[in-house]
Structure 1
Amino acid sequence: MSNEVIAVLGAGSWGTALANVAAENGHDVRLWTYKPEQVVEINEQHRNSKYLGDNPLDEGVVATADMTEAVRDATIVLSVVPTKATREVSKHLSEVLAELDQQIVLIAATKGLEPGTYKRASEMLAEEVPATQRLGLGIISGPSHAEGVIKHDPTLVSAVSEDLATAERVQAAFTNNVFRVYTNTDLIGAEFGAALKNVIAIGAGALESLGFDANAKAGLFTRGLAEISRLGQAFGANPITFMGLSGVGDLFVTATSVHSRNYRAGVQLGEGKKLDDIVENMGMVIEGISTTKVAHELALKKHVEMPITSTIYRVLYEGQDIKEAINELMGRPVSQEGK
């Protein structure tokens, strides 16, 4: 494995965990954050306590609040900021790359769809960072809570790019004996799976808090995955992708784990808490809330039937009672499975 210079933009839980994997693999790692206090804590205490508690970070993770310092000489740049910040950060990155006269492999590790434009993370990056500044474009996706990765739980993810050589380069940079990376070339399918599973996870959390057992959860997961696959295929995704790490794998971990913000948000919705209070108290971005609206709007535009997503949309944005919504969902006309 050749040594890479890797810049990670965004020092939340997932960005920090990915930076730590890269540092443990012996790469030169710079972690960019706009928060000076994070820089001090990471560099002096080797912790990111707000997001990853007392779990120690490899001393090779070097934080900086200066993007030029982070990106200079980088061979791979990971964008791991929330969806709503992706364009702003990407524009800044492009300006820095222009100043440095530098090309990089650009990888997104953000799971969401942009409100209004409905763009995937890789599409936003491609629009803001010109092809002349990129040697490759792709994403990292799969069932991978940062809280598990930092503790060295065996984790499997996909490096996805329409250019297989780009995916293989990311695979080589991040694979080790506890973090296994597969390659995939279906960027559309992987990104839709990564984004839309957050919607189903909100529903799963609500079922948990309402006291429903395995039957209801299995039904939600299965039919939810069918919805994700239908919408993804409407945009050209390979249906097989949704049976893999970026589909059923990511859905399972996000819809069953207390580490999932979307699952926890669903739990609190089921408990009767107000959405605004849930968002305020979480302290971190809940991607599934905005993604629910995007998915609902896309389903209408593409004439794709997504009853579970539409139900969660009504609960989140129209204030429908969850129990009433579940009754309506279960009372829909029966149909043939697979349609």
Structure 2
Amino acid sequence: MKIDRMSGDPLLRSAYPYRRLAVIGAGAYGTALAHVAAQDGTQVSLWSRRAEIAETINRTARNPRYLGEIDLAPSITASDDLMAALRDADAVLLVVPSHAIRSTARAMRPVIPAGIPIVVCAKGIEAETGLLMSQIVEDELPGHSVGALSGPTFATELAAGHPSAATLAFSFDQADRLDPENSAAARMAVTLATPAFRTYLSDDLVGVEIGGAVKNVIAIACGMMRGAGFAENTRAALITRGLDEMKALAEALGGRRETVTGLSGIGDLTLTCSSTTSRNMSLGVQMGQGLDRAACFDGKPIIVEGEANATSVTDLARKLSVPMPICETVRGILKDGQPIAETFARFWSEPIESEPRAMSLTFAHPTSLSTAPAFDKRPL
């Protein structure tokens, strides 16, 4: 840290924002981030795969499908042409669903300007490979610096200007550490900064991305218990133990446990597990109330990221021999069709463990699956 010789205070560094930003994905979060970035006059090209949405944004300054009540910043130009959206960009925010990250990155390969940084805003783990979202982009788009943005940011609140914060992670090489003002992380942070939105920088991509992937699964668990009639004790227990599962998986992959205690971990986990604004939480609530998966969301084909994450996260954890009992519980219900009451009863009656890992104690739990009815009687 540089110190001012006269005052002894930390010396503030200055970084220059990117002036032309491409946001790939005009869903709710992509639209919100485009709006945030454009508020200081940054020229934003917003790519939508639907021509009619792009045309309406350009004509009315509103996205007719998402965040329709928000008047978008005037420096946003929308397009359904990927080449046009990327042509003059200095940096890219990639904001498509996790299952579309690889195909979208591959489509960008012939048209993206050489060497410009890419920030991935999707959360998840690829089912077939076990790769994180940034690793998929690095695989498809070599030669680009790739980062990740993650944190407790519902799109509607972000676009409406509610004070919000997130973590922006890039791998810092020697050049970045010697000249941090010109690093992609610093420049993107100031590009996105507004009076209501701030980012915190990290060099732990793994820790940041694991938090984003696992929290979706824990939110489904919290929703299931809420839908079944259980209250705050249950949610707090699942959040806390879910955080421990995040830490264990991040550490096994080379991430840092402390990263998971930040915005991209416990921050995002707390938000997602506390509100049915989250599709993950909402799905869990509906299933906990007894709806079949096909009947949730009034039968509409709503994508819920945690549904796929439940399998991909636990597949990866199994390969690494990392126990993740809450995620395994959700997987058993969603993938294997196990009954909610019996499956959560099994989790609650697992062997008693010590919380500090250094104690390394395990005792048999005195109850068994005979306690399952307690999880089926909707106490509230």
TM-score when scaled to structure 2?
Answer: 0.85
Gaps of 5+ in 2: 1-15, 177-182, 358-380
Note the C-alpha offset of 1:62. 1.1
2:248 matched to 1:227?
no
- In structure 2, what is the equivalent of residue 58 of structure 1? 73
The answer on whether the counterparts of 2:21 and 2:90 sit within 8 Å (CA) in structure 1 is yes
How far 1:258 sits from its partner (Å)? 2.1
Per the alignment, residue 41 of structure 2 pairs with: 26
Of residues 329-338 and 5-14 in structure 1, the stretch that sits farther from structure 2 once superposed is 329-338
Note if contact 2:18-2:187 (Cα within 8 Å) is conserved in structure 1. no
SS at match of 1:114: coil
Q: Please say if residues 73 and 102 of structure 1, whose CA atoms lie closer than 8 Å, have aligned partners that are also in contact.
A: no
Q: 1:59, CA displacement in angstroms?
A: 2.0
Comparing both structures, which one devotes a greater share of its residues to helix?
A: 1
Is 1:154 the equivalent of 2:169?
no
Where in structure 2 are the equivalents of 1:261-276 lying within 5 Å? 261-276=279-294
Paired residues of 1:94 and 1:130 also in contact (CA < 8 A): no
* Alpha-carbon spacing, 1:104–1:284, altered in 2? closer, same or farther (3 Å): farther
Residues 1:79 and 2:94 are matched in the alignment: yes
Deviation (angstroms), 1:181: 1.0
Aligned: 1:294 with 2:312: yes
How many Å apart are 1:238 and its aligned residue? 0.5
Contact 1:261 1:282 in 2 (8 A): no
1:110 aligns with one of 109, 112, 122:
122
SS for the counterpart of 1:104 is coil
The structure 2 residue matched to 1:329, chosen from 326, 341, 347, is: 347
CA distance in 1, matches of 2:328, 2:17: 47
Give runs of aligned pairs for residues 141-220 of structure 1, distance below 5 A: 141-163=150-172, 165-220=183-238
One-letter amino acid matched to 1:207: M
> Match for 1:208: what amino acid?
R
Q: Distance in 2 between matches of 1:282 and 1:177?
A: 37
Sequence identity percentage: 36
For residues 282 and 187 of structure 1, do their structure 2 counterparts lie closer, same or farther at Cα, with a shift above 3 Å needed? farther
How many residues were matched structurally?
Answer: 333
Match of 1:259 in 2: 277
Question: C-alpha separation between the residues in 2 aligned to 1:307 and 1:331?
Answer: 11
Contact kept, 8 Å, 1:167 with 1:183, in 2: the verdict is: yes
Quote the residue 1:36 is aligned against: 51
Cα deviation code 1:233-269 (max 9, x no counterpart): 1100111001100110010111112221111111111
SS across alignment from 2:353:
coil
SS of structure 2 residue aligned to 1:96: coil
TM-superposed deviation, 1:50? 2.1
Amino acid at match of 1:17: A
Aligned counterpart, 1:93: 108
Contact 1:279 1:286 (C-alpha < 8 Å) held by counterparts: no
CA deviation map 1:9-45 (0-9, x unaligned) = 0111111100000111210000001101111221112
Could you say what the CA RMSD is over the residues aligned between the two structures, in angstroms?
A: 1.4
Residue by residue over 1:288-308, the C-alpha shift from the partner in whole angstroms, topping out at 9 and shown as x without a partner, is: 000000111112111111111
State whether residues 197 and 250 of structure 1, in contact with CA within 8 Å, keep that contact through their aligned partners in structure 2: yes
User: How far apart are the structure 2 equivalents of 1:284 and 1:48?
Assistant: 19
- Please identify the structure whose Cα radius of gyration is greater: 2
Q: Tell me the amino acid that sits aligned with residue 68 of structure 2.
A: G
Note the C-alpha offset of 1:283: 4.7
- Map Cα deviations across residues 131-151 of structure 1 (whole Å, 9 max, x no partner): 1xx2x2211111111011011
Runs of 4+, deviation exceeding 6 Å? none
Question: Partners in 2 of 1:251 and 1:208 — Cα distance?
Answer: 16
* Contact 2:18-2:90 within 8 A present in 1 as well: no
What are the residue-to-residue correspondences of 1:2-13 with 2, within 5 Å?
2-13=17-28
Query: 1:75, 1:103 within 8 Å by CA — same for their partners in 2?
Result: no
Cα drift, residue 284 of structure 1 = 4.0
Q: Is the 8 A contact 1:139 1:187 kept in 2?
A: yes
Could you tell me whether the CA contact under 8 Å between 1:192 and 1:228 is conserved in 2?
A: yes
The 1:272/1:54 distance shift into structure 2, 3 A limit, reads: same
Write out aligned runs for 1:298-313 (5 A): 298-313=316-331
Amino acid at match of 1:181: T
Q: Is the CA contact 1:210–1:270 (under 8 Å) kept in the aligned structure 2?
A: yes
TM-score (norm 1): 0.95
Task: Give 5+ residue unaligned stretches, structure 1.
Answer: none
For the residue of structure 1 that corresponds to 2:124, the secondary structure is: coil
